Amino acid sequence: MASEKARAPGPEDEVLAQLKARFPDFITEGRVKRARRIEATVKKEGLLEVAWALLEMGFGHCSSVTGVDRLQPPQMESVCHAWSYERKMLVSLKVILPRDNPRVPSLVPVWPGAGWHERESWDLLGIVYEGHPDLRRILNPDDWRGHPLRKDCPLPERKQFVVPRNYDEEIARSITRRRESGYTERGEEAPPS
């Protein structure tokens, strides 16, 4: 077993320490994943307060809000990635939610661009972003039932594709017709005229 190299403390350790000191009741877990990458698990009650603090600290870009469906243990996660251009650092905030009623506060008041990401997460996974100004489908048709990326979502009935018996003969005839009409494959010389 190779031993891991010890990492010297960096600016990301300082940011994480500030967050933990300011929100000891809301941040349940936090770690520096690697240089310029911080992960923190936040209670949903404190998500907006932690997000506002990140904005004050220079994390002005919400690069994504997404969801994760876990079967073991049965839970959902809402994950927000906040980037600071000044610090060149990413903070990932994760909120653990119950699978049967995944609800979390919307981050639109903090980062307005999060609205698109939250709509996608709701559409595909069913995570409800409370307070979102326009939570509606963004990828699936309006009449779609359920949320297709949930692991408990039933698959739609599939139509079986049947290859005709004379498939190879049809392909050969098609190629012959194309060549006779002057079509050439890449790298193939055009037929002499």
Q: How many CB atoms lie within 10 A of CB 44?
A: 16
φ/ψ (deg, to 5) at 172? -60, -45
Give the pLDDT confidence of 22-80 residue by residue, as tens digits.
Answer: 999 999 999 999 999 999 999 999 999 999 999 999 999 999 999 999 999 999 999 99
pTM: 0.76
Task: Look up residue 78 and give its two tokens.
Answer: 């809402």
| Digit-coded pLDDT (tens) for 79-104 | 999 999 999 999 999 999 999 999 99
* Amino acid at site 147: H
DSSP annotation of 136: -
- pLDDT, one tens digit per residue, over 125-177 is 999 999 999 999 999 988 888 899 999 888 777 666 666 666 677 777 777 77
CATH 3.30.460.80 fits 11-158, yes or no: yes
Nearest C-alpha neighbor of 137 from the set 153, 109, 118, 112: 118
